[in-house]
Structure 1
Amino acid sequence: MKAEQGWSATAQLAIAVTMLMGTLSACTTLPGGFGVGRSASPPPEAALADPSAQAFANALPTTGTVGAALDDTDRQAAAKAEIEALEISRTGAPVTWKNPETESSGVVVPGPTYIVNNQECRDYTHTLSAGGAEQLLRGRACRSGDGTWRPLN
Protein backbone atom coordinates (compact mmCIF):
# COMPACT_ATOMS: atom_id res chain seq x y z
CA MET A 1 0.00 0.00 0.00
CA LYS A 2 1.55 3.29 -1.07
CA ALA A 3 1.27 6.18 1.38
CA GLU A 4 -0.68 9.15 0.01
CA GLN A 5 0.62 12.59 0.73
CA GLY A 6 -0.78 13.72 4.08
CA TRP A 7 -1.55 10.17 5.26
CA SER A 8 1.07 8.18 7.12
CA ALA A 9 1.60 4.55 6.28
CA THR A 10 0.46 3.67 9.81
CA ALA A 11 -2.82 5.56 9.36
CA GLN A 12 -3.44 3.85 6.04
CA LEU A 13 -2.72 0.45 7.56
CA ALA A 14 -5.12 1.18 10.44
CA ILE A 15 -7.85 2.13 7.96
CA ALA A 16 -7.25 -0.99 5.87
CA VAL A 17 -7.37 -3.26 8.93
CA THR A 18 -10.56 -1.58 10.16
CA MET A 19 -12.22 -2.08 6.76
CA LEU A 20 -11.11 -5.72 6.63
CA MET A 21 -12.44 -6.36 10.14
CA GLY A 22 -15.80 -4.83 9.19
CA THR A 23 -16.02 -7.02 6.11
CA LEU A 24 -15.07 -10.21 7.96
CA SER A 25 -17.48 -9.55 10.81
CA ALA A 26 -20.37 -10.13 8.38
CA CYS A 27 -19.19 -13.72 7.74
CA THR A 28 -20.32 -16.49 10.08
CA THR A 29 -20.10 -20.22 10.34
CA LEU A 30 -22.81 -21.77 12.46
CA PRO A 31 -23.13 -25.36 13.68
CA GLY A 32 -24.93 -27.48 11.11
CA GLY A 33 -24.50 -24.82 8.43
CA PHE A 34 -22.52 -24.84 5.24
CA GLY A 35 -20.21 -22.03 6.32
CA VAL A 36 -22.37 -19.19 5.02
CA GLY A 37 -25.57 -17.64 6.22
CA ARG A 38 -27.60 -18.93 9.13
CA SER A 39 -28.58 -22.28 10.55
CA ALA A 40 -32.01 -23.12 11.93
CA SER A 41 -32.38 -26.02 14.36
CA PRO A 42 -35.61 -27.98 14.78
CA PRO A 43 -38.07 -25.81 16.73
CA PRO A 44 -39.96 -26.78 19.87
CA GLU A 45 -43.51 -28.17 19.58
CA ALA A 46 -45.11 -24.74 20.07
CA ALA A 47 -43.30 -23.28 17.05
CA LEU A 48 -46.17 -24.02 14.66
CA ALA A 49 -48.73 -22.30 16.89
CA ASP A 50 -48.07 -19.32 14.60
CA PRO A 51 -50.51 -19.61 11.65
CA SER A 52 -47.80 -18.30 9.32
CA ALA A 53 -45.45 -21.16 10.25
CA GLN A 54 -48.28 -23.65 9.83
CA ALA A 55 -49.00 -22.27 6.34
CA PHE A 56 -45.34 -22.79 5.33
CA ALA A 57 -45.33 -26.33 6.78
CA ASN A 58 -48.55 -27.15 4.90
CA ALA A 59 -47.00 -25.91 1.63
CA LEU A 60 -44.24 -28.53 1.80
CA PRO A 61 -44.64 -31.67 -0.35
CA THR A 62 -46.39 -34.67 1.18
CA THR A 63 -45.88 -37.16 -1.65
CA GLY A 64 -42.86 -38.59 -3.41
CA THR A 65 -39.73 -39.87 -1.70
CA VAL A 66 -38.88 -36.59 0.01
CA GLY A 67 -42.41 -35.54 0.97
CA ALA A 68 -43.29 -38.94 2.39
CA ALA A 69 -40.06 -39.04 4.44
CA LEU A 70 -40.62 -35.69 6.18
CA ASP A 71 -42.01 -36.04 9.70
CA ASP A 72 -43.71 -33.28 11.72
CA THR A 73 -40.43 -32.14 13.30
CA ASP A 74 -38.84 -31.91 9.84
CA ARG A 75 -41.77 -29.83 8.59
CA GLN A 76 -41.53 -27.52 11.60
CA ALA A 77 -37.79 -27.00 11.09
CA ALA A 78 -38.25 -26.46 7.33
CA ALA A 79 -41.03 -23.91 7.90
CA LYS A 80 -38.96 -22.08 10.52
CA ALA A 81 -35.98 -21.92 8.12
CA GLU A 82 -38.16 -20.55 5.30
CA ILE A 83 -39.57 -17.81 7.53
CA GLU A 84 -36.12 -16.98 8.92
CA ALA A 85 -34.69 -16.74 5.39
CA LEU A 86 -37.47 -14.39 4.31
CA GLU A 87 -37.38 -12.31 7.47
CA ILE A 88 -33.70 -11.74 8.18
CA SER A 89 -31.42 -13.23 5.53
CA ARG A 90 -29.69 -11.24 2.83
CA THR A 91 -30.46 -12.08 -0.78
CA GLY A 92 -28.60 -15.27 -1.63
CA ALA A 93 -27.55 -16.05 1.98
CA PRO A 94 -28.63 -19.63 2.80
CA VAL A 95 -30.44 -20.69 5.95
CA THR A 96 -29.88 -24.36 6.74
CA TRP A 97 -31.77 -26.78 8.93
CA LYS A 98 -31.17 -30.38 9.95
CA ASN A 99 -33.05 -32.85 12.10
CA PRO A 100 -30.40 -35.10 13.67
CA GLU A 101 -33.01 -37.75 14.52
CA THR A 102 -34.19 -38.30 10.93
CA GLU A 103 -31.14 -36.92 9.06
CA SER A 104 -33.56 -34.82 7.00
CA SER A 105 -32.21 -31.38 6.13
CA GLY A 106 -32.67 -28.40 3.90
CA VAL A 107 -31.20 -25.20 2.57
CA VAL A 108 -33.39 -22.13 1.98
CA VAL A 109 -32.00 -19.34 -0.20
CA PRO A 110 -34.03 -16.12 -0.38
CA GLY A 111 -34.15 -13.89 -3.42
CA PRO A 112 -34.41 -10.10 -3.46
CA THR A 113 -37.35 -8.27 -1.95
CA TYR A 114 -39.82 -6.66 -4.36
CA ILE A 115 -43.19 -4.93 -4.05
CA VAL A 116 -46.47 -6.25 -5.51
CA ASN A 117 -49.73 -4.39 -4.79
CA ASN A 118 -48.05 -2.56 -1.89
CA GLN A 119 -46.91 -5.86 -0.35
CA GLU A 120 -43.31 -6.84 0.31
CA CYS A 121 -42.60 -10.16 -1.46
CA ARG A 122 -39.65 -12.51 -1.95
CA ASP A 123 -39.02 -15.61 -4.03
CA TYR A 124 -36.92 -18.39 -2.51
CA THR A 125 -35.58 -21.86 -3.21
CA HIS A 126 -35.60 -24.69 -0.69
CA THR A 127 -33.53 -27.79 -1.32
CA LEU A 128 -34.98 -30.60 0.82
CA SER A 129 -33.05 -33.80 1.59
CA ALA A 130 -35.02 -36.68 3.11
CA GLY A 131 -35.47 -40.39 2.59
CA GLY A 132 -32.22 -40.62 0.63
CA ALA A 133 -33.46 -38.19 -2.03
CA GLU A 134 -33.29 -34.48 -2.74
CA GLN A 135 -35.97 -32.14 -4.05
CA LEU A 136 -35.71 -28.50 -5.13
CA LEU A 137 -38.71 -26.34 -4.30
CA ARG A 138 -39.34 -22.84 -5.60
CA GLY A 139 -41.57 -20.64 -3.51
CA ARG A 140 -42.92 -17.14 -3.31
CA ALA A 141 -44.14 -15.39 -0.17
CA CYS A 142 -45.50 -11.96 0.65
CA ARG A 143 -45.77 -10.09 3.91
CA SER A 144 -49.38 -9.87 5.05
CA GLY A 145 -51.09 -6.91 6.72
CA ASP A 146 -50.14 -8.22 10.19
CA GLY A 147 -46.44 -8.28 9.21
CA THR A 148 -46.07 -12.05 8.89
CA TRP A 149 -44.88 -13.87 5.78
CA ARG A 150 -47.39 -16.04 3.91
CA PRO A 151 -46.52 -18.52 1.14
CA LEU A 152 -48.30 -17.92 -2.17
CA ASN A 153 -47.69 -21.33 -3.70
Structure 2
Amino acid sequence: MKGKASMRSIGGCFLVFGFFAALGGCNSSAPEAAKIVAAAPEPPAPGVIGSAVGRELGAADRAMAIAAQQEAVNSGERRSWRGAHGAYGFVEPAAENGVGGCRDYTHKVFIDGRPQQAKGQACKRPDGSWRVTG
Protein backbone atom coordinates (compact mmCIF):
# COMPACT_ATOMS: atom_id res chain seq x y z
CA MET A 1 0.00 0.00 0.00
CA LYS A 2 2.79 2.33 0.82
CA GLY A 3 4.17 2.04 -2.73
CA LYS A 4 0.83 2.86 -4.31
CA ALA A 5 0.37 5.86 -2.01
CA SER A 6 3.81 7.16 -3.01
CA MET A 7 2.97 6.77 -6.67
CA ARG A 8 -0.24 8.74 -6.17
CA SER A 9 1.72 11.52 -4.46
CA ILE A 10 4.25 11.61 -7.27
CA GLY A 11 1.45 11.59 -9.85
CA GLY A 12 -0.24 14.43 -7.99
CA CYS A 13 3.01 16.39 -7.97
CA PHE A 14 3.37 15.97 -11.71
CA LEU A 15 -0.23 17.06 -12.19
CA VAL A 16 0.30 20.21 -10.08
CA PHE A 17 3.64 20.89 -11.76
CA GLY A 18 2.07 20.47 -15.20
CA PHE A 19 -0.75 22.85 -14.28
CA PHE A 20 1.65 25.61 -13.20
CA ALA A 21 3.90 24.99 -16.18
CA ALA A 22 0.89 25.50 -18.43
CA LEU A 23 0.02 28.73 -16.63
CA GLY A 24 3.60 29.89 -17.00
CA GLY A 25 3.37 29.25 -20.74
CA CYS A 26 0.21 31.38 -20.96
CA ASN A 27 1.95 34.30 -19.32
CA SER A 28 4.81 34.24 -21.78
CA SER A 29 2.51 34.61 -24.79
CA ALA A 30 0.45 37.51 -23.38
CA PRO A 31 2.95 40.20 -24.48
CA GLU A 32 2.90 38.75 -28.00
CA ALA A 33 -0.89 39.04 -28.12
CA ALA A 34 -0.63 42.64 -26.93
CA LYS A 35 1.82 43.41 -29.74
CA ILE A 36 -0.57 42.00 -32.31
CA VAL A 37 -3.46 44.09 -31.00
CA ALA A 38 -1.30 47.21 -30.82
CA ALA A 39 -0.15 46.73 -34.42
CA ALA A 40 -3.69 46.53 -35.83
CA PRO A 41 -4.20 49.32 -38.36
CA GLU A 42 -6.36 52.23 -37.36
CA PRO A 43 -9.57 52.47 -39.39
CA PRO A 44 -9.81 55.43 -41.76
CA ALA A 45 -11.14 58.60 -40.15
CA PRO A 46 -14.45 59.88 -41.51
CA GLY A 47 -13.03 63.35 -42.13
CA VAL A 48 -15.59 65.55 -43.86
CA ILE A 49 -17.88 62.53 -44.37
CA GLY A 50 -18.38 62.56 -40.61
CA SER A 51 -19.79 66.09 -40.88
CA ALA A 52 -22.96 67.46 -42.42
CA VAL A 53 -21.86 66.26 -45.88
CA GLY A 54 -22.06 62.59 -44.95
CA ARG A 55 -24.98 62.76 -42.55
CA GLU A 56 -27.53 61.72 -45.21
CA LEU A 57 -25.47 58.77 -46.46
CA GLY A 58 -26.40 55.22 -45.49
CA ALA A 59 -23.77 53.13 -43.72
CA ALA A 60 -22.60 51.28 -46.88
CA ASP A 61 -22.35 54.48 -48.93
CA ARG A 62 -20.56 56.26 -46.08
CA ALA A 63 -18.01 53.42 -45.90
CA MET A 64 -17.34 53.71 -49.65
CA ALA A 65 -16.94 57.49 -49.37
CA ILE A 66 -14.52 57.18 -46.46
CA ALA A 67 -12.48 54.53 -48.29
CA ALA A 68 -12.23 56.73 -51.41
CA GLN A 69 -11.23 59.68 -49.25
CA GLN A 70 -8.43 57.68 -47.62
CA GLU A 71 -7.22 56.32 -50.98
CA ALA A 72 -7.16 59.84 -52.44
CA VAL A 73 -5.06 61.32 -49.63
CA ASN A 74 -2.73 58.29 -49.67
CA SER A 75 -2.10 58.48 -53.41
CA GLY A 76 -2.43 62.22 -54.00
CA GLU A 77 -4.77 61.41 -56.91
CA ARG A 78 -8.48 61.97 -57.47
CA ARG A 79 -10.71 59.07 -56.43
CA SER A 80 -14.36 58.57 -57.36
CA TRP A 81 -16.89 56.35 -55.63
CA ARG A 82 -20.47 55.22 -56.25
CA GLY A 83 -22.67 53.83 -53.50
CA ALA A 84 -25.25 51.08 -53.77
CA HIS A 85 -28.10 53.51 -53.10
CA GLY A 86 -27.44 56.11 -55.81
CA ALA A 87 -25.12 58.45 -53.92
CA TYR A 88 -21.75 59.12 -55.51
CA GLY A 89 -18.86 61.50 -55.27
CA PHE A 90 -15.20 62.21 -55.73
CA VAL A 91 -12.25 63.32 -53.65
CA GLU A 92 -9.72 65.76 -55.07
CA PRO A 93 -6.50 66.00 -52.99
CA ALA A 94 -4.18 68.97 -53.25
CA ALA A 95 -0.42 68.63 -53.45
CA GLU A 96 1.43 67.94 -50.21
CA ASN A 97 2.57 71.18 -48.62
CA GLY A 98 6.17 71.36 -47.53
CA VAL A 99 5.41 72.50 -44.00
CA GLY A 100 4.21 69.75 -41.68
CA GLY A 101 3.65 67.17 -44.42
CA CYS A 102 -0.09 67.80 -44.79
CA ARG A 103 -2.40 68.11 -47.78
CA ASP A 104 -5.85 69.57 -48.15
CA TYR A 105 -8.60 67.76 -50.02
CA THR A 106 -12.07 68.50 -51.35
CA HIS A 107 -14.80 65.87 -51.16
CA LYS A 108 -17.84 66.43 -53.36
CA VAL A 109 -20.87 64.21 -52.72
CA PHE A 110 -24.07 63.91 -54.75
CA ILE A 111 -27.12 62.66 -52.86
CA ASP A 112 -30.38 62.52 -54.84
CA GLY A 113 -28.61 64.62 -57.48
CA ARG A 114 -27.89 67.42 -55.00
CA PRO A 115 -24.20 68.34 -54.71
CA GLN A 116 -22.58 68.85 -51.33
CA GLN A 117 -18.96 69.79 -50.86
CA ALA A 118 -16.57 70.03 -47.95
CA LYS A 119 -12.86 70.57 -47.50
CA GLY A 120 -10.61 68.65 -45.16
CA GLN A 121 -6.98 67.93 -44.41
CA ALA A 122 -4.76 64.88 -44.03
CA CYS A 123 -1.26 64.74 -42.59
CA LYS A 124 1.57 62.29 -43.10
CA ARG A 125 2.58 60.11 -40.17
CA PRO A 126 6.23 59.31 -39.41
CA ASP A 127 5.78 55.87 -41.04
CA GLY A 128 4.69 57.52 -44.33
CA SER A 129 0.98 56.67 -44.08
CA TRP A 130 -1.64 59.42 -44.17
CA ARG A 131 -4.17 60.25 -41.46
CA VAL A 132 -7.28 62.28 -42.24
CA THR A 133 -7.41 64.98 -39.57
CA GLY A 134 -10.48 66.87 -40.67
TM-score normalized by the length of structure 2: 0.59
1:127 to 94, 102, 108: 108
Displacement of 1:116? 2.5
Query: In structure 1, what is the equivalent of residue 92 of structure 2?
Result: 109
Query: In structure 2, what is the equivalent of residue 69 of structure 1?
Result: 56
User: Does residue 95 of the first structure (1) align with residue 86 of the second (2)?
Assistant: no
Displacement of 1:70? 0.6
Query: In structure 2, what is the equivalent of residue 21 of structure 1?
Result: none
Structure 1: give runs of 5+ residues left out of the alignment: 1-48
Query: In structure 1, what is the equivalent of residue 65 of structure 2?
Result: 78
Displacement of 1:147? 2.9
Share of identical aligned residues, percent? 33
- Which structure features the higher share of strand residues? 1
AA at the equivalent of 2:86 = E
Structure 2: give runs of 5+ residues left out of the alignment: 1-39
Contact 2:70 2:132 (8 Å CA) reproduced:
no
Contact 1:124 1:139 (8 Å CA) reproduced:
yes
Aligned residues: 95
Displacement of 1:107? 0.8
Ranges of 4+ aligned residues in structure 1 off by more than 6 Å: none
Q: Name the CA distance, whole Å, in 1 between partners of 2:57 and 2:49.
A: 9
Report SS of the residue matched to 1:137: strand
Q: Name the CA distance, whole Å, in 1 between partners of 2:98 and 2:130.
A: 13
Query: In structure 2, what is the equivalent of residue 51 of structure 1?
Result: 42
Which digits, 9 at most, give the CA deviation of each residue in 1:70-124, with x for residues without a partner?
112112111111121122244xxx210001x21111111111111334xx21111
Q: Which has the larger radius of gyration?
A: 2
Report SS of the residue matched to 1:114: coil
AA at the equivalent of 2:49 = L
- Which structure features the higher share of helix residues? 2
Displacement of 1:51? 2.1
